Structure 1
Amino acid sequence: MFLQAELESMKVALEKLSEAPADQLDEQDKIWARDVRELSYDIEDSIDTFVVWGKGNEQAKGFRKYIDRSLDLLTRFRLRRKIATEIRDIKRSVVEVSDRRERYKIDSVVAQPVKINVDPRLLAQYTNAAELVGIDEVIKILVERKEAYRQQDKIVSIVGFGGLGKTTLANAIYQKLRAQFDCSAFVSVTQNPEMDKLFQDLFYQLAKRNNSRINVIDEISEFLQSKRYFIVLDDIWDISVWKMIRCALPDNICGYRVITTTRILNVAEQVGGAYKLKPLCLHNSRILLYRRIFGNEDKVKCPDEQLADVSNRILRKCAGVPLAIITIASLLSSKGGNKIEWFKVYNSIGTALENSLDVKNMRRILLLSYYDLPSHLRTCLLYLSVFPEDYEISKDRLIWMWIAEGFIQCENQGESLFDLGESYFSELINRSIIQPSYQGYSVMIEHCRVHDMVHDLICSLANEENFVTILNDVYQSSASTMVRRLSLQNSKIDQDVPWTTISIQQVRSIVAFQPAVNLMPTNQFRVLRVLELQNCQILQLCSLKHIANLFHLRYLGLRKTCIAQLPEEIGNLQFLQTLDVSENGLSSLPLTFVRLRRLMCLRIDIRTRAPKGIRNLTSLEELSMLCIDDSTDIVEELGHLTELRILDIVCRTGHNNSLQKSLLECLCKLWKMNPSLLLNLSFLSIAVRKLLQEDLEILGRLSALRFLNLVVDHRNLGILGKFFFGAGSFPCLIECDLKGFIGLVVFELGAMPRLESVCFPIDVQETIEIADGSGCFNLGLQNLPSLQHITIYFHRGGSSKGDVEQAQAALRQATEIHSNRPTLKICL
């Protein structure tokens, strides 16, 4: 009782103290907060340890259970003495801290979090380049410069202060021009690049395949020798890095364009074609501010007259820096139209960027938004410092790590931890603290990035609070620090972690991004909750058998780590919530795996066989990727996993009707447990042999569906005929990918009003046959008012080269007459 009560008091005290910016606290308060924070960690660790000791071996049966109980009686006295000693030590520490300061007097409590969805007004800022404020004129200047055929204009280096929008501008130009080139690539360089990985990524984007030679520079150079190419190199800090990359970029006769971005003028001048990016003018600053707060219209005049004066004052302090304006706008939007609150924000900014564009003043603006966050969101944001600069962070991976750390706590019984975590993620996006990241034309937010200035800020704060310790090529943490969370970011494969020189007994998280992890002293990690080794080569370097002794472990990430099997001892991890062993090619999971009763997320490969008894994992919310074939005997067991939100299965049942029927009955049982599931379905990827028009109409009534990937086998079955997307169908669909159809696909007026990207197949002969005398043809593409991207899978059959060219011309003309002038990609 003492530990629990003391911990609650400490947490409330720390939350209250954290509401004030660090620069407004005196040194005594900071020292006291540091001591209390470390004590709260120790108490949490002790409580967890007591829980593990109290559980014992719950899974043991028969003679094994008798032996375990006997051993428990023999060791209970020793454990009680150890527990009593720890409690006495903690009490002594609490008294020492309280003697230096009056104890934990708090007048208010922090409001409970509410579930948040992503603000739809924000998404356009990251998806639609046409809506980026003040960027059109700059794009025009740079495009005209790049269209000049002088040697010195083939390279442009955009230089400017952090937050001015260099990356946004470079990406807008990239999206505008990339279709004019044979190949293209957009690569983030960052301050401490891993050059081998950078070159591999560059080659993959250019060639659409992995490199096959050790010398990637030569392979890139040879590949580009006969190609017209366009490359963007974002965020270069060191001219030596540019010189190395330049060796891979040949001056060929086909032509090329290169854009670089940097904060350093000297680097830009040496790269060549330096373009100094200027801050936004007051006119465009107002548009950006009011658009974020009041909606997407280009408002120059403040919609609320009483806020006009204070908004102009705020904008002058932001000095035309887009990141500062967006950050402040997100803060103001949470204040409503309260003039007093707006003036409080204005007074908090100080001189900010009005007098000088420097990092210190930009940090002051970012800190305003940081301290405006509720305490639970500040904790979640600081955790992002475990990821390297410019790292693309998976939303689901991040949320499961938050859950494992205990950052997400549900107040109401039955509430989903993951759903609450998603609302935290959405709130950070809404406040422009993190940026959504999209893949291809997809509009689903599955990843995020942290702006480099925000990343610098949270890394600094995490270090000050001893929240995360980062070890990389540049920075080594102090050996005297009690490490709580450890991020390994060494890029050299032979770089050993100095386990013997840092205090690691209280480490709660280890997240590794280096090529290999040397032998970890797992016997010293008493309270480890998160172990994330994704993409690390741990074969012969770490013993998975010893990992099973990490009894506090909640999250184990072993994706793409070259492991051959999991040890039987994995069943000892009674508190494990997330297990990711995908992309390793494991043939099976150990039988003891079914003991993991608290497991919520399981990710395996298609070829990995799950053991019988998976029905016991009743806490599972995500299960992927599970293969169902004729030899599978767990179909019936799936019906007991009633908490599933995500079930990713591959069916290879052939003509086994009995197995197919059992699987359908199982899925229906799951659906009955949550009948509202399909009403909120936003992502659907489905493959069926045969689809009828009425089936398509049923799918069209999924009112929340945003992404549809529909694969049929009509070509092999010889099913002809048109398929119509009727008026009112798929009202929220944004992305549609159709494969396997051999009949025409027609879009009627009123169908898919929000569709932005569509992919579908068509035959060359059909295209020619339905084209009218002018060479045009009508599939109803003009009825899709939001269309931006079209991809056609062309089946040429026995058509001649002339027929193919005629069909392609008809498709291009149909695209050109669309009011949006969508992009067209034809895949032969």
Structure 2
Amino acid sequence: MAEMAVSLVVDQLVPLLREEAKLLRGVHNEFAEIKDELESIQAFLKDADKRAAGTEGDTTSERVKIWVKQLRVAAFRIEDIIDDYLIQVGQRPRYPGCIALLLKLKTMIPRRRIASEIQDVKSYVRGIKERSGTYGFQRSFEQGSSSSRGSQNAKWHDPRQAALYIDEAEVVGFEKQKDMLIDWMVKGREERTVVSVVGMGGQGKTTLAKKVFDSKDQKRYVVVFDDVWTVHFWDDFKFAAIDSKNGSRIFITTRNKNVVNSCKKSSFTEMFELQCLTQEQSLELFNKKAFKFDYGGCYPNELIGIANEIVKKWNGLPLAIAAIGGLLSTREKNLSEWQRFRENLNLELKTDTDLIGIKEVLSLSYDDLPCYLKSCLFYFGVYPEDYEVKSKRVIRQWIAEGFVKEERGKTLEEVAEGYLTELIHRSLVQVSSLRIDGKAKGCRVHDLICNMILEKHEDFNFCKHSSDDGQRSSSEIVRRLSITTIDDAFWECIHGSHVRSLFCFGNQEKSSSYFKGNSTKYKLLKVLDFEDFDLKNIPNNLGIFIHLKYLSYNNSNSGAEVPKSIGMLQNLETLVIRGIYYCELPKEISKLIKLRHLIGKTMSLIQLKNGIGEMKSLQTLRRVSLNMDGAAEVIKALGKLKLIRNLGLLDVHKQNESILSSSINEMQHLEILYIRSCFNDNESIDLNLISPPPMLQNLILQGKFKEFPEWTLDLQNLTMLRLVWPCSDKDPLQSLKSLQHLLSLYLDLYRYEGLQLHFQDGGFQKLEVSTVIRLSRVREIIIDKGSMPSLKTLRLMYLRNLKNIPTGIQHLEKLEYVYIWGVVDEFGERSSTEDWNWIMEHVPLVKILPQDYEEIKYLRS
């Protein structure tokens, strides 16, 4: 973390020295010298955090830890000086003549103070550098990481070793997985194949591999590599593993999915991604460990409840459950003893020798991370436990913090998305919800990973939590605050001037009042996230936060206005306004030329007019209402936003259809487009895009559209299409079937006059989700064999005249879920009397809900 802190400071100094050379004058050389010192120290920082995390009593690691902490403090102090300088001197407008002289005199005292602070921190940095040689840190840093890991491993017991000798009767939850892997090993193709098991530390990869290995066939070779870390593993081994076409297998277990991907370059691969145990399986494993030699191997009744609570804490991680069960097998088996253990669980993890190994196994994944990913992983500890973090939200915050480095040909958002993917591939972050294209929509970290992160927060002063009970002294530098509960003591223990990021979760009414009174203490903020509670009063002095890059808040007060002072936030990159149904943005927002994402529920840009066209950094502009005089000027200005990727427009009028078409034609980077027409218009809109955005992936058209837009057929990158109320009597499927990359199709055709909907052979080859709503006249749906072969979910809702289930539904072999809702009572009655089971026996879940919602009929679930 010291490496990241130093790197962030150097990244700030470089453009400052380049762009402000004349303005800085006296302090320019001082900043330059600090930059040079920090760059030379960076050479000694590789793996410093890992070496500082040695076992208790390790004198060298303690000295390294102190040195690293001192360097981190120095980096924080330099960052404070830079940010203070930019407020006092650097970002003031330049004026000619007497005004410039007066301003210069006014800034003289701040200049002197800043120069004095720079001298102090220079001396501090030089002392740190000298001590690195005195204590011999250079020699220790030059040693290989493997020796460091080996020395640490000698200090704690590795619980994974038992997996090689575990009795078959003690294995829980792997029977189906073992059989699948054995089939991959002994059946299938003759060519050499790499079979892999991927999962987070402690999830049971080694146990599963051993069970498969014990069942292997000896007629061909099988090589097992357990716990592979390096992505270059296959490059080193592939030439030694001769492919004699007799079904040989290379079996690997790894925490990193990228290891598997590297094998695909020159071999067939099969990958099994482990999932955590269910609560039932977790209890079974815990029972086998905790009561193996007592109570006949079964829970005593009085311990069932507390056992459930203890097991639930580990979220199905076998290594932890087995270790906890083994430990409790040696303790008194009574309710008071187990309750005491549960209440002190975090302390037990830190101190008990049988449990320390769990933390160390997980820490190996952290140690293996490159520096730029460590801070990104730490960010998940800012959010409350078990919180689902939206991917786009955390990605934008990483960018605001400066964690994301530029890469040629990519936006910062694309680079950050790659960071998140790597954390997921390394099994450190879990995907909790998916977008239709398979990318992570929401994610979270396992409780044990979260515990590890929170410990690192304390070690590195990464984040202060309001639930920390004032454990950290007010003299320590705190960079981030995560607030869930608030009291007077909490604010008193915080030295607000050092805070760069503030997150508020819950305790709504009190939080807003406290922030209103303390806002001036946080003038150096870069991230301000109030998205999870209702901020009743938006501070009028927002302009003091000139370093702010990310601002998100929730406001249900319909009379609240966005203060004009927001125009002073020259560095703002993301502005998210939740809660307010309608929000009129002040014209001052057009001054925010660095703004990349502007998101609200329903926003009016009428005061901006041409000004919106000057915000050329905008990539996201969502839910803009055009139901106003002067809408044509706003729409025309939108055509200047060449970098826009996500655009949502509401209340589009017929009279503006031509201007809107012209503006959209200019948006060649557009990926997501949402257009909703004005429902008060009697006439229908006709969008005519001569050159539609070639990168468009998601398209939503809602309202009165004259005809089905034929230009959508040119969108060969389109993966999601949502059509709501287009006015047409033609079956749209005849045209849409040519969109061969479509993954999700949503049709809400209120005005459709046809009696039949026909999915023809060869159409929609990649479609996974199909939703059909409110085709009030449709009586029959036909699905040809060869249509929608990849379909997993089929939803049919409010089809009042539908007489039967879709003809040909039995052809959809990958169908997992059928949901039919709002059909006539006759349809619902037939679902329980007619023999439809044989037609949909391949579908795991089928639900049919008639018009009478009180009587819900399930065909099968």
Q: Indicate the TM-score class for this superposition, using the shorter chain for normalisation.
A: 0.5 to 0.7
Aligned to 1:534, the other structure's residue is in SS state: strand
8 Å CA contact 1:585–1:605 kept in 2: the answer is yes
Question: Separation in 2 of the partners of 1:280 and 1:736?
Answer: 37
Q: In structure 2, what is the equivalent of residue 813 of structure 1?
A: 836
CA gap 1:46/1:534 in 2 versus in 1, 3 angstroms: same
Tell me, yes or no, if the aligned pair for 2:528 and 2:548 is still in contact at 8 Å: yes
Q: CA deviation at 1:779?
A: 2.5
Task: Return closer, same or farther for 1:473/1:462 CA change in 2, 3 Å cut-off.
Answer: closer
Question: Which aligned pairs between 1:523-562 and structure 2 lie closer than 5 A?
Answer: 523-540=520-537, 544-560=539-555, 562=557
Q: 1:435 to 1:595 in 2, by over 3 A?
A: same
**Which letter maps to 2:531?**
Q
2:623 touches 2:650 (CA, 8 Å); kept in 1?
A: yes
Give the C-alpha shift of residue 278 in structure 1: 6.9
Are residues 1:460 and 2:455 paired?
yes
Q: What is the rounded CA distance, in whole Å, between the counterparts of 1:607 and 1:577 in structure 2?
A: 18
**Partner residue in 2 for 1:425:** 420
Determine helix, strand or coil for the equivalent of 2:481: strand
User: Cα distance 1:353–1:537, how it changes in 2: closer, same or farther (>3 A)?
Assistant: closer
SS in 2 for 1:664: helix
- Are residues 90 and 354 of structure 1, via their aligned partners in 2, closer, same or farther at CA, if it must alter by over 3 Å? same
- Alpha-carbon separation, structure 1, partners of 2:99 and 2:817: 64
- The CA distance in 2 between the partners of 1:605 and 1:636, in whole Å, is 22
What's the CA shift string for 1:26-83, capped at 9, x where partnerless? 111111111112222232343344445565355x9xxx99897465333343343233
Matches within 5 A, 1:554-703: 554-560=549-555, 562=557, 564-606=560-602, 608-609=604-605, 611-612=608-609, 613-629=611-627, 631=629, 632-633=631-632, 634-653=634-653, 656=654, 658-671=655-668, 675-678=694-697, 679-691=716-728, 695-703=732-740
> 1:308 aligned to 2:224?
yes
Q: What CA distance in whole angstroms lies between the structure 1 residues aligned with 2:227 and 2:519?
A: 55
Q: How far apart are residue 289 of structure 1 and its match?
A: 9.0
Q: Which residue of 2 aligns with 1:95?
A: 126
Could you tell me how far apart the structure 1 residues matched to 2:119 and 2:502 are?
A: 30
Cα deviation, 1:781-801, whole Å, max 9, x if unaligned, reads: 2222221112224343xxxx5
* Partner residue of 1:505 out of 497, 507, 516: 497
Distance 2:726 2:756 in 1: 17
Q: Does 1:77 find its partner at 2:73?
A: no
CA contact (8 A) 2:619 2:643 kept: yes
Q: Give the residue type in structure 1 aligned to 2:500.
A: R
Report which structure shows greater RCO (CA 8 Å, sep ≥6): 1
Aligned-pair identity in percent equals 25
Alignment-derived partner of residue 346 in structure 2:
none
Q: Is the 8 A contact 1:536 1:561 kept in 2?
A: no
The structure-2 alpha-carbon separation of the partners of 1:748 and 1:505, relative to structure 1 and needing over 3 Å to count, comes to same
**How far apart are the structure 1 equivalents of 2:128 and 2:635?**
58
Q: Does 1:746 align with 2:782?
A: yes
> Match of 1:5?
36
- State the one-letter code of the partner of 1:385: G
Cα drift, residue 481 of structure 1: 2.1
Spell out, residue by residue over 1:351-407, the C-alpha distance to the aligned partner (whole angstroms, 9 max, x if none).
Answer: 999975654222111111111122111110011110011111111111111111011
Q: CA deviation at 1:730?
A: 3.0
- Aligned runs of 1:213-224 on 2, under 5 Å? none
Equivalent residue, structure 2, for 1:171: none
Q: Taking structure 1 as reference, are residues 279 and 395 closer, same or farther at Cα in structure 2, changes over 3 Å only?
A: farther
Q: Which amino acid aligns with 1:512?
A: C
Residue 448 of structure 1 corresponds to which residue in structure 2?
443
Please state whether the residue corresponding to 1:690 is helix, strand or coil.
coil
**What is residue 280 of structure 1 aligned with on the other side?**
172
Q: Structure 1's 477 and 755: CA in aligned 2 closer, same or farther, altered over 3 A?
A: farther
For residues 684-763 of structure 1, what are the structure 2 equivalents within 5 Å?
Answer: 684-691=721-728, 695-714=732-751, 719-742=753-776, 743=778, 744-761=780-797, 763=799
Q: Is the contact between residue 442 and residue 735 of structure 1 (CA under 8 Å) also seen in structure 2? A: no
SS at match of 1:548: helix
| 8 Å contact from structure 1 (residues 401, 555) kept in 2 | yes
Give 2:822's aligned residue: 794
Deviations 1:652-699 (CA, angstroms, capped at 9, x unpaired) = 42xx2x312221221122136963344444344343523576854554
Q: Do the aligned partners of residues 496 and 88 (structure 1) sit closer, same or farther apart at CA in structure 2, a change above 3 Å counting? A: same
- When normalised by structure 2's length, the TM-score is 0.63
Question: Which is further off, 465-474 or 281-290?
Answer: 281-290
In structure 1, C-alpha distance between the alignment counterparts of 2:143 and 2:847, rounded to whole Å: 56
Question: Once the 2 structures are TM-superposed, how far is the Cα of residue 570 of structure 1 from its aligned partner?
Answer: 0.5
TM-aligned CA deviation for residue 465 of structure 1: 1.0
Distance (Å, rounded) in 2 between the aligned partners of 1:697 and 1:66: 72
The count of corresponding residues between Structure 1 and Structure 2 is 611
1:101–1:639: structure 2 CA closer, same or farther, 3 Å change rule? Answer: same
Change (3 A) 1:596 1:762: closer
1:411 aligns with 2:327: no
1-side partners of 2:320 and 2:221: how far apart? 25
Q: 1:783 pairs with 801, 811, 823, which one?
A: 811
The two structures, once aligned, show a CA RMSD in angstroms of 4.1
Q: Supply the distance in 2 between the matched residues of 1:562 and 1:473 (Cα, whole angstroms).
A: 32
Aligned letter for 1:486?
Answer: L
Q: CA deviation at 1:561?
A: 6.1
Matched residue, 2:710: none
Task: Name the larger-Rg structure.
Answer: 2
Gaps of 5+ in 2: 1-31, 145-158, 161-168, 185-193, 199-204, 229-251, 266-318, 328-353, 669-690, 698-715, 852-861
Q: How does 1:8-87 map to 2 (within 5 A)?
A: 8-11=39-42, 13-18=44-49, 20=51, 22-23=53-54, 26-51=61-86, 56-57=91-92, 69=100, 71-87=102-118
Instruction: Provide the C-alpha distance between the structure 1 equivalents of 2:650 and 2:43, rounded to a whole number of angstroms.
Output: 48
